[in-house]
A and B are shown apart, each in its own frame.
Chain A
């Protein structure tokens, strides 16, 4: 049993009581909703004659279904339009703040809440989306929930949950140039496996995370769920406070000082007890890329696709399925694999620092012939800021398309989709079969800079050769 960690402190503070089942009733400080997983929850609420208990603790945006080219209403896709209208109506009827398209605040739910200062240390945060773990970057306990649980939070601002164990995932040292936060988390998932984190919250600790910016920490926490951990977090520090200061929903004046004192106090104690500890060395992490059909099937960019003999017996069956689906042969180098589509965006890597790193690679170069490459900012604010810096011009001059904010081809619920067996270099977080809109489409996950490098050369390329 963990003791004295941030997770323990935040959990205890938010505990309402123990339910007859033995589970904890946990108060949720911030509830984020979007168009895909909320309409059925509002319907369930209506069916039971319940009201939203704390409407001011829920914030809505629209991200998954929105087109990134023509956003004129009504949407071309009737079903998308219907979902949009349901969200508009549900938020209006229930007095919930909704950041709609054109508000200047719309974007991927896990991008907008941090950038507006809604996400803060010490909070419990829930959202009907598994990548809610992103918000843990601030030292919040944040996790994804299903629709029935969205209903529970709307109705009671609480959830019935069993406490997680806490694993400290420590990475120490400096990352070499060309290695990014994305590579760190892909490396961790590769080593601990996609189920390694089931039942755990991951505390990301060590000098590597301490040196990371908030955006980098968000990339890491975002993918905790891909390692099976429902939430991941970093203890709040000066980097966190500097990021938050002055943001719309951040405390101001005297309250700011009180807040910082409190945030300091919820950090894991130096003598905290963990259920498990694992340690990695940053110097050993190379640009990492997935070759298969789960985020755990990753290798360094200069490695070859593992042969069955090189894998543990447990992993061979899935590897066999992956060789076939991906049409990649064991033993061949991943570098040089031909790419069709390049996607930069998503809640993993659709923020300013991601676009800046990709733009550095794209600048003064051109997308290889026959490659479709596009950049989708994570939010309206990211888009605006990127344009103010001229990143859009760099990308467009290099042959990338520059789009409106949304989830886009991360899960392809909107018109952005792979076609047939196309293979994509993607900065997103999932490479499952069919994830990017074609039942036979293929995805290689990598950092945004690596995606830009792939776009320029038309093949999987070690970005370090282009820096």
Chain B
């Protein structure tokens, strides 16, 4: 008897294995998460939801007379720690006659004196509203209500388990025993069998819509900037904002302590490094903001879009701002991007595999209110790879501007362009495909 293989094996052009068996582990893992979620949800329903629902719908209202006061002591097993919970003894009428029982007055606290103080507001012989369980008249409560905060917190764990486990089980069932080709083809390819692909379809080529919706001032289209500068600036700003918000909360607490004549040295010790990081965050954000705005905006326009291999396209560089530039350089690059998992991280590696200079300008002096304009022609190689994008991989073309301002650090700004695959010579499909 041959045992099943859990993973496929590749030998040259052959692959062998049993993908059905390979997906068992994945299915079991998610099924366990789903079961854990169901178990947690069941505990919540029986332990929190049902009791709270019963107090609202089954418990009977009554007027109770306070006949006693006391503290319920709960000791933690194996430790010298106790909690104290204020309670009052109530006498109230039920369907089976007068009843006396203890009702919890407040939350348990570790300080006995605080628990005693909580009892002082209740006087013996006074009347209070209470609710008792008709199924067990000795069970009496002083408050009804839903604890929404606790509900939100307790639903988070089973909700996450149910969603993650359920989605995994559903995915396992949907792909059970199916090859990767069948999964990829699911839904649309069976209906396309025998039909010729349309000449307009370009599988794997990203859409061009976002690159042609902005007309240029001189040439046909203005290209959107791809630079990560804006995101970095936003990240620095958010970090400075959130960090200093926490710092303010801590500082207010420390200030209140000082006003009250107390000094919390632990809080003060935490505040000092927090203050240093907070100030550094603000300084870095302001510096990045100045660098991003001081140099001036860079605009790139192109005479046509998308581009085709073998074509020639005019490119216009517009650099705003004021001050002098040591150099301004415009190049076109072909970049490969690969996204992969490394442990629990998802990483993207980028490599420039081809670069061609378009134009270079030295010793520029920019005046406020005007912009420098430089023109160049991009000759797309006739054998150029077209733009490509799939879920984890991409081949992208972009116009890159590298500037060296005299007073500021150098900057790099990228503007993506799209290259379509070249259409066949006649514009129609080739017809030389018969068997020899």
Q: Do A and B bind each other?
A: no
Taking Cβ atoms with an 8 Å cutoff, the residues of B that contact A are none
Taking Cβ atoms with an 8 Å cutoff, the residues of A that contact B are none
